[in-house]
Structure 1
Amino acid sequence: MRDIHRVFITGLSALTASGATADDNWAAVLAGEYGIDEIKQWDVSTWTHRLGGELKDYQPAKMLPDRKLMKVISRQDVLGINVAMQAVDHSQLIPYRETLESTDVFNDETAVFVGSPGNKYYQQYDFLPLIAKTGGNMQAFATQLFSEVHPTWLLRILPNNVLAYTGIHYGFKGVNHNIANHAVGGMQAIIEAYHAVK
């Protein structure tokens, strides 16, 4: 008989156009409700297709444990950190950790695996005007970069921000892993986490 190692998902979350929590999303499914509606974040009046799945009532200050964090991260980081924290809370890992005599080993062996889409086109806006202004002259671009683009621009768009801030918040120091592979990053993170636990 072969040895089978099973891995259980103990916590989950969902932040979608249908709801801000896993329970909200499940309730929407049971009620036959959907989150698709006309896009409201930007002007789509000239678009032939105007529907999309947008988050309703996006309030980043209510989604993070530390509102000061909003100054140094992007919108997608706010969403990722929020949903990661929901999953950790749902898993009951923290109450379990508090029952241990020493949390050092637990923290050292607990890791964060994140699937990230990488950077979005709108995250490049900070330096696009400078590229246009310098006409593609990279020497001129480099000379003016620090006077035209905020020095923390790069920190706001790092694809591993969700991993870093979630790990720091909970003190998880295990072998953290961030996969930036657009649409399949999340699935790859689950597979990698499975193999790490197994």
Structure 2
Amino acid sequence: MTAPVSAVVTGIGIVAPNGIGTEECWAATLAGKSGIDVISRFDPQSYPVKTGGEVLAFDASAHLPKRLLPQTDRMTQHALAAADWALKDAGLVPEELDEFGLGVLTASGSGGFEFGQRELQKLWGIGPERVSAYQSFAWFYAVNTGQISIRHGMRGHSSVLVSEQAGGLDAAAHAARLLRKGTLSTALTGGFEASICPWGLVAQIPNGFLNEDADPHRAYLPFDVDAAGYVPGEGGAILAVEREDTALERGAAAIYGKIAGHASTFDPRPGSDRPAGLARAIRLALREAQVNPEAVDVVFADAFGVSALDRAEAEALAEVFGPSAVPVTAPKTMTGRLYAGGSALDTATALLSIRDSVIPPTVGTGVVAPGLAIDLVLQQPREARVDTALVLARGAGGFNSALIVQRHG
């Protein structure tokens, strides 16, 4: 009986608040460099939330054709550039491959918020004749998948997954399953968001989970005794994923790791006596990967930054692994929660952690809240061989997702 074909990651592209490009972002993450600051792209003083993880150093005109700029939101510009970089990193040239074996699977929960705001302002401020025809799709949460597939002639299975923060993991897992089945030979997968604009911020505030502290150093402290919400962010990551046999046959320059297991669950309605679904998602992902809990070397936490939700995550980890039994990190404290982009970025960071045998730190958090049995990697990177990493994400409304990535070979 032949072993099932693995789905391996051969390329990474990142756009994040603390770094543009994979190596720049990774270096900043290991150095504890935060991209969270007072919002600067508009005046936030009249809003209760004043801090965010903005992508400020990205110049779309330096990375994309001029014709694409007026038809794309910042979110899509980030995604297109990251897709280019992931393909280049993998050494893949789509024009040389079977176009129907190439797919694009991305995640987004917000869509092109800033583009939509701009065109709506034209509608009510000037008139419908000034609204861009590109408004018909630039705002749509599936637009990244569409634009990437068009740009690279990738005509195989393409889709978008919408499960908020969990979406980036769900998209990667779906891509891996299509590769294992032989539906695709190569896929680009990941997630991006860019909704730090007045309309986007107003849409996020009603959930009641955003931190209103104006000090960017105190605004996102997951698992901390002073945790009081999270910081919104923008950016994300794209992964080039291939069938292992295809990657080896073409002599891929590098294999960052393999997508070994995944599971998603849904929490019961509030007030139900049924348990939350995160621990079950972890167990199911471990089962699919055929990995025992003690083999997991690090957990990239969802790290909501809300005391009750942080406690629930810590309890789920203790339930599966034992109290403080596995190192846990939350490098998103340097970017904010990027929603669908956040879990994709965490997956990329986990693969880099495997490559370099180092666990990145959780910055900001100083004193872990009493009663949380969690081995949180704080302030400084921790040198450790990482063969198996677990990435967790929870989306608003009850989504849970767990993804296992492992060293190849």
Shorter-chain TM-score bucket reads 0.7 to 0.9
- On the 8 A contact 1:118/1:181 being kept in 2, the answer is no
Q: Tell me, what secondary structure is at the counterpart of 1:71?
A: helix
More strand per residue: 2
How many residues align? The count is 178
Whether 1:195 and 2:177 are equivalent positions in the alignment is yes
Say whether 1:154 aligns with 2:154: no
1:113, distance to aligned residue in structure 2 (A): 1.2
**Distance change in 2, residues 1:173/1:127 (3 Å):** same
Q: Which residue of 2 aligns with 1:17?
A: 17
- Larger proportion of helix: 1
- The amino acid across from 1:36 in the alignment is I
Residue identity matched to 2:88: D
SS in 1 for 2:154: coil
In structure 2, the residue matched to 1:26 is 26
**1:169 and 2:151 correspond:** yes
In the superposition, the TM-score normalised over structure 2's length comes to 0.39
Trace 1:2-151 onto structure 2 (pairs within 5 A). 3-47=3-47, 49-64=49-64, 66-94=65-93, 103=96, 106-119=98-111, 122-125=114-117, 126-127=119-120, 146-147=128-129, 149-151=131-133
Distance 1:169 1:148 in 2: 27
> Deviation string for 1:125-175 (max 9, x for gaps)?
334786x89xxxxxxxxxxx8547444321322323222222222222211
CA RMSD of aligned residues (A): 2.7
Q: Please report how far the alpha carbon of residue 115 of structure 1 lies from its aligned counterpart in structure 2 after TM superposition.
A: 1.1
Partner of 1:136: none
Question: 3-state DSSP class of the match of 2:161?
Answer: strand
2-side partners of 1:37 and 1:146: how far apart? Answer: 36
Q: 2:112, 2:70 → 1: CA distance?
A: 18
Gaps of 5+ in 1: 134-144
Alignment partner, residue 178 of structure 1: 160
Q: Deviations over 1:59-117 (max 9, x none)?
A: 221131x11111111111111111111111111111xx67xxxx46x222111111122
* Aligned AA (2:56): K
Between the aligned partners of 2:140 and 2:47, the Cα distance in structure 1 is 31
Deviation of the 1:30 alpha carbon = 2.4
Cα 1:156–1:186 shift into 2, 3 Å? same
* Structure 1 length-normalised TM: 0.76
Identity rate, percent: 20
CA distance in 2 between counterparts of 1:158 and 1:196 reads: 24
Structure 2: segments with no counterpart, 5+ residues: 181-409
Whole-Å Cα distance in 2 between the matches of residues 63 and 176 of structure 1?
24
- What's the secondary structure of 2:172's corresponding residue? helix
SS at match of 2:106: strand
CA distance in 1, matches of 2:62, 2:165: 27
Q: 1:8 to 1:184 in 2, by over 3 A?
A: same
Distance 1:49 1:42, change over 3 A: same
Paired letter, 2:92: L
The AA in structure 2 aligned to 1:88 is L
